[in-house]
Structure 1
Amino acid sequence: MYAAPSSVPVGVDPTRASIARVYDAALGGKDNYEIDREVLRQVATKAPEVRDLAWSNRNFLTRAVRFLAQQGRITQFLDCGSGLPTAENTHQIAQRLIPDARVVYVDNDPVVLAHGRAILEDNPHTHFVAEDIFQPGKLLANDEIRGNLDFDRPLALLQVGTLHHYTADNADDLMREYIEALPAGSFVVIAHFFDPETPRSSELAKKMEELFIHSPMGSGRFRTADEILSFVDGLDIMPPGPDKAPGLAVCDHWWPDGPKLTPLNQVEQCIAAVVARKP
C-alpha cells in the first residue's frame, strides 16, 4: 500500500486547498476557492510565472494524446488524477481522431467526480471512476475500470501532473505496480515537476518545492531526470523530438507544434515529460 497526504479527498471544504482546484486556478478557471489561489500567490513570491507550470503540463497532454491516437494507434486511455474538466481534455483530443476511443478518468475528489460525470453523461465511451491513484492495486482491480478498458489490448496510462504530488521516496515502486498490469504495446505518459540540476534552475525548483509542500496544498516535489526516468525503467522511451535521442524533455520541448520564438522562462524549464512504450 502507498500513502500520500495529498491523496486525501478535499471535496468542497473551502478551508483546504485542493490539487484539482489549484490547477484549475492556474489555468484561469472559475472552480476554485481563495485558499487555492493563495497557494499560487505563495509560490509566485519566488516564481512569478508559476501558472506556466500548469500550461506547460496541459499543452504537453494535448500533444501526447494526439501522438498516442495517431501514431501509437492507442484506442484506450486510463487518465489518472484527471482534475476538473477544462477545454481539451483527454477524451476530446482522442475522440476527435478516434471517435470510439475509450477513456476512463480516475480521481478521488468528489467535486471532480460530480463535474466530470455531469459533463460526460451523454458520452458512452468516457467514464469517471472514484479511486485513489496512489493505490494502484485497488484501482487496477476496480470493476468499472476493468469493464470499460480491455487489459488484453494495449492502452495508455496517463500520469500527467500527478506523481509530483506523491512525495514519498518509493514512487518508482508505485509505477512498477501499474506497469506490470499493462499489456505489451501499452504506453506510459508522465509530466512531472522537474529539478534540471543546473545552478539557476535547480535553485528555483527547490524554492518552489519548499513553497508548494508548505502551502495549504501540501505537496509538489521536484524530481531530477534520473528520478523521473526510474518510473519507466525497462520501457522503450520515445524520442522527444526530431533528431533527438530517446529521453526526458522539458514539457514545452516534447514535440512542440512549431518553433519557439521566445526562450523558455525559468519556470517552464522546471516541468518535464517522458513517453514510453512497454515492449
Structure 2
Amino acid sequence: MYDYLLGGTDNYKVDREACAELLRMAPSTRELALVNRAFLVRAVRYLAQERGVRRFLDHGSGLPTSPNVHEVTQAVDPSCEVVYIDNDPVVAAHGRMGLAEDPSTTAVLEMDMRETDKIFESPRVKHLLRDDQPVAALFISVLHCIRNDDDPWDLVRRVAARLPAGSYMVVSQLASDDPDLRNEITEFMDTVTGGNWGEVRSLDEVNRFFARLELLEVKEQKPVEVSLWHPDSDLAPRQRSKEWIEYGGVALVKPAAESSA
C-alpha cells in the first residue's frame, strides 16, 4: 500500500483497492506518505552529513522504494553501512535483489523488528556495532504496526539501550488526536492486513517514544509533524491536511545514567 501511495510499481490490485478505501476515509493519506518519505531522506542525509553517522539500522524497512536509506547515505559517503530489518519474505527478496551490487555495505535481514535480542545477536548487526561507532536506528512509519499490548515504547527503549554511545534514533508514526478517526482507520487497517496492524496513536502516545531521548533540530523538546522537521527549503513538501499526520523526530540517545535521571 505504501509503495502504491508513493507512485511505485511493487503493489497488487488488493493494495490499490485498500488504498482507495483508505483515501476515502482520510483523503490526505497519499500526501502523508510523500511527506514521510521526504522526512526519511532528510533525516538520514542530516545524520550522515551533519552528524557524521556512517551506520544505519532500519527497522521495518518495507519495499526498497528509491531513494532508500543506503542510496541517500552512500551518496554522502560510499562507506556508509545499512542493515534493513523486515519480517516480510517478499520485502526481503526484493531488497536482496536490489542490493546485490554491494553486499559488503548493505544487507537485508528477514527478522521481526520486535525481536531485539535476536537482531542484535545476528552476525550482520554485530558487525555494524563492531567498534562502538554511532549507529542511527530508524523506526520510520512502522511503530503503528505494533499493538499497544506488545509495548512499542519498550521496543524503542530496548534498541536505544543496545546502541553505542552517541547514537541516534529516528521515529515517526501515524497519529491523530481525533479518537473516532484513530479507531476507524485502526479497525480498517487491521482488517485489510489480516491482523498485521497495531494502532494509530494520539500525539501524546507518540511523545512517549522520545521520553528518554534528546530531540534535535526542533524549537521545543517535542516531536513535530514531519514535514516541518528541518525542511530542505520553503519548497519542501508540506502536509496541509491535519486529519491524521506522520509525527516524529530525530533524537540523540542519552547515556544510561542521564536517561534514567
- Pick the TM interval, shorter chain: 0.7 to 0.9
Q: Does 1:80 align with 2:55?
A: no
**In structure 2, how many angstroms separate the alpha carbons of the residues matched to 1:151 and 1:140?**
14
Q: Which one-letter code corresponds to 1:114 in the other structure?
A: A
- The one of 133, 140, 159 aligned to 2:113: 133
Offset of residue 267 of structure 1? 5.2
Q: Deviations over 1:170-204 (max 9, x none)?
A: 11112111111011100000110012x3xxx5654
3-state SS of the aligned residue for 1:45? helix
Q: CA RMSD in A?
A: 2.1
Q: Does 1:254 align with 2:232?
A: no
Q: Does 1:26 align with 2:5?
A: yes
Which residue of the partner structure matches residue 173 of structure 2? 192
**In structure 2, how many angstroms separate the alpha carbons of the residues matched to 1:133 and 1:267?**
29
**In structure 2, how many angstroms separate the alpha carbons of the residues matched to 1:78 and 1:212?**
26
Q: Deviations over 1:80-132 (max 9, x none)?
A: 11111121100111111111011111112111111111111121211111111
Which residue of the partner structure matches residue 87 of structure 2? 108
Identity %: 36
**In structure 1, how many angstroms separate the alpha carbons of the residues matched to 2:199 and 2:85?**
21
Check the 8 A contact 1:238/1:247 in 2, yes or no. no
3-state SS of the aligned residue for 2:56? strand
Provide the TM-score with structure 1 as the length reference: 0.83
Offset of residue 214 of structure 1? 3.0
Which residue of the partner structure matches residue 165 of structure 1? 145
Check the 8 A contact 2:35/2:239 in 1, yes or no. no
Q: Deviations over 1:187-238 (max 9, x none)?
A: 000110012x3xxx56544433332223345425221232212223222111
Q: Which one-letter code corresponds to 1:178 in the other structure?
A: V
**In structure 2, how many angstroms separate the alpha carbons of the residues matched to 1:214 and 1:79?**
26
Check the 8 A contact 1:151/1:182 in 2, yes or no. no
Q: Which one-letter code corresponds to 1:253 in the other structure?
A: L
**In structure 1, how many angstroms separate the alpha carbons of the residues matched to 2:237 and 2:39?**
18
3-state SS of the aligned residue for 2:248? strand
The answer to which structure, 1 or 2, has the higher relative contact order (CA under 8 A, 6+ apart) is 1
Which residue of the partner structure matches residue 237 of structure 1? 215
Check the 8 A contact 1:50/1:267 in 2, yes or no. no
Which residue of the partner structure matches residue 181 of structure 1? 162
> After TM superposition, which residue ranges in structure 1, 4 or more long, deviate above 3 angstroms?
201-207, 260-264
**In structure 1, how many angstroms separate the alpha carbons of the residues matched to 2:246 and 2:34?**
10
1:41–1:217 distance in 2 versus 1, CA, 3 Å: farther
Check the 8 A contact 2:35/2:238 in 1, yes or no. no
Q: Does 1:66 align with 2:41?
A: no
Structure 2 gaps of 5+ residues are: 255-261
1:172–1:262 distance in 2 versus 1, CA, 3 Å: closer
3-state SS of the aligned residue for 1:258? coil
Check the 8 A contact 2:134/2:165 in 1, yes or no. yes
**In structure 1, how many angstroms separate the alpha carbons of the residues matched to 2:153 and 2:203?**
13
Offset of residue 261 of structure 1? 8.9
**In structure 2, how many angstroms separate the alpha carbons of the residues matched to 1:206 and 1:267?**
16
**In structure 2, how many angstroms separate the alpha carbons of the residues matched to 1:116 and 1:84?**
7
**In structure 2, how many angstroms separate the alpha carbons of the residues matched to 1:263 and 1:70?**
23
1:154–1:56 distance in 2 versus 1, CA, 3 Å: same
Number of residue equivalences: 251
- Which runs of structure 2 are paired with 1:114-129 in the superposition (5 Å)? 114-123=93-102, 124-129=104-109
Structure 1 gaps of 5+ residues are: 1-21
